[in-house]
Amino acid sequence: MQTHAAHAHSRDFALDPADPERLANLAGPFDAHLRQIELRRGVQIANRGNLFRVSGDDESAVADVEKLLRALYDEAAGTTFDAHAIHLRLGPDDASPRTSANADYQAQEVAVKVKRGTVRGRGANQQKYLHLIATHDINFGIGPAGTGKTFLAVAMAVEALNSSRIQRIILVRPAVEAGEKLGFLPGDLTQKVDPYLRPLYDALYEMLGVEKVAKLLEKNVIEIAPLAYMRGRTLNDAFVILDEAQNTTVEQMKMFLTRLGFGSTAVVTGDLSQIDLPKHVKSGLRDAVDVLREVEGVSFTFFEARDVVRHPLVAKIVRAYEAKAAHDARAKQNNNTGDST
């Protein structure tokens, strides 16, 4: 169970009758069900046997979680819970308001345990990103290189696989060529797409080790898929990462987002300043920001130069390019104003 700072409100109660099997069913493997409820409702749940304490900053959320735990415990006598069942009972629209993508809230810290140790968000924006991935089914991480968008998404995928909340990880990336014309490249499908997925592989190797990644790829637990090959599929019990999403078209982005099945999480990452599509083609990532920004259940995290966690010079480089882009935009606007007079 995670350690949190003191909260303003708490409730102590017992779930009777004390039954170890029902308690284990309610808590889930490694307390996964309780953690799922914590993250969705923005509370802390601690227990010793059938004695529970729910704590949080929102009194109504604390009261609601007590009611939920009592109801789930009653149901646990005749129903075996899995992550899907808990997700359904939490409901699609009744998560705590502080988990809204646009809300100004203090993100609950998410610690991701992988082979290399424990991965935590550096700074408020990365912590928020991890929290939103844990509490939303579709997530967007948008910003410049070096801000941890892809690395943290892979860490969350690995943690979900290790804790058996999902059955497979699917890594998707559009070929840099907008048409995704891969047929002329030598080798099988994986070899054709490998060059485009190298950053995802690097993150997997760091968290799982090269040998284990190779075994999981062989068993198809980790799957490599070019975006064009996703059409017509439904992805259940999977953690799907679409990287370099700024190079998707509007149609490709819509197709990808509608592949998501039950028990799955999608993370879409991209940098809107690095679009390689033809100038007349609108980026599917840019379009998704416009279309989905207010859709309940979809989260957006926007990273900035200050979130860069690589060499300090990288942040300076990003800021320099941002300043140049802003200067060019102002100059273009002034020229257009002059032409119209």
Q: From the CA atom positions of the chain, what is the Rg in Å?
A: 22
The yes-or-no answer to whether 9-99 and 112-310 have a common fold is no
Q: Tell me: the pLDDT tens digits for 205-238?
A: 888 889 999 999 999 999 988 888 888 888 899 9
Reduced to 3 states (helix: H, G, I; strand: E, B; else coil), residue 117 is strand
Q: Is the pLDDT of residue 15 over 60?
A: yes
Write the pLDDT tens digit of every residue in 177-201.
434 454 555 555 556 556 667 778 8
Count of residues making up the chain: 341
Rounded average pLDDT over 64-82:
91
Question: Are 119 and 203 contacting, i.e. CB atoms less than 8 angstroms apart?
Answer: no
Query: What's the rounded Cα separation, in Å, for the pair 238 and 139?
Result: 14
Beta bridge partners of 223: 170
Cβ atoms of 192 and 139 closer than 8 Å: no
Report the mean per-residue pLDDT for the chain.
82
Give residue 253's pLDDT: 95
pLDDT category of residue 98 using cuts at 50, 70 and 90: very low
Long-range contacts of 124-132 (CB under 8 A, 24+ apart): 125/301, 125/303, 125/304, 125/307, 126/152, 126/307, 126/309, 128/301, 129/301, 129/303, 130/156, 131/39, 131/99, 131/107, 132/99, 132/101, 132/107, 132/299, 132/301
* Domain 112-310 superfamily per CATH: P-loop containing nucleotide triphosphate hydrolases (3.40.50.300)
pLDDT digits (tens, 9 = 90+) for 141-161: 999 888 889 999 999 999 899
> Is the CB of residue 141 less than 8 Å from the CB of residue 268?
yes
Q: What is the pLDDT of residue 115?
A: 65
Give the rounded percent of residues in the chain with a pLDDT score beyond 90: 42
Residue range 11-36: mean pLDDT, rounded:
93
- 1 confidence band (pLDDT: 50, 70, 90): very low
Q: Hey, which of 9-23, 114-128, 223-237 has the most confident mean pLDDT?
A: 9-23
The helix or strand, by DSSP H or E, that contains position 51, with its residue range, turns out to be strand 51-56
* Tokens read off for 114: 């992988």
Q: Tens digits of per-residue pLDDT, 245-302?
A: 999 999 999 999 999 988 899 999 999 988 888 889 999 999 999 999 989 889 999 9
Does the pLDDT at position 100 exceed 50? no
User: For residue 250, how many C-alpha atoms fall within 13 Å in the half-sphere facing its CB?
Assistant: 9
Q: Which has the higher per-residue pLDDT, 182 or 100?
A: 182
- Which among 307, 289, 306 has a CA at the least distance from the CA of 298? 289
Higher pLDDT, residue 340 or 304: 304
What element of type H or E holds 67?
helix 59-76
Nearest Cα residue to 271 out of 141, 160, 132, 104: 141
Which fold, 9-99? Ribosomal Protein S8; Chain: A, domain 1 (3.30.1370)
Per-residue model confidence (pLDDT) at position 195: 66
CB 218 within 8 A of CB 211: no
Backbone dihedral angles phi then psi of residue 101, each to the nearest 5 degrees: -60, -25
Identity of the residue numbered 65: V
List the domain boundaries for the chain. Answer: 9-99, 112-310
Place of tokens 């957006």: 300
pLDDT grade for 304, boundaries at 50, 70 and 90:
confident
Report how far apart, in Å, the C-alpha atoms of 117 and of each of 13, 36, 52, 113, 114 are: 35, 21, 29, 6, 5
pLDDT recorded at residue 129: 93
Q: Is 126 helix (H, G, I), strand (E, B) or coil?
A: helix
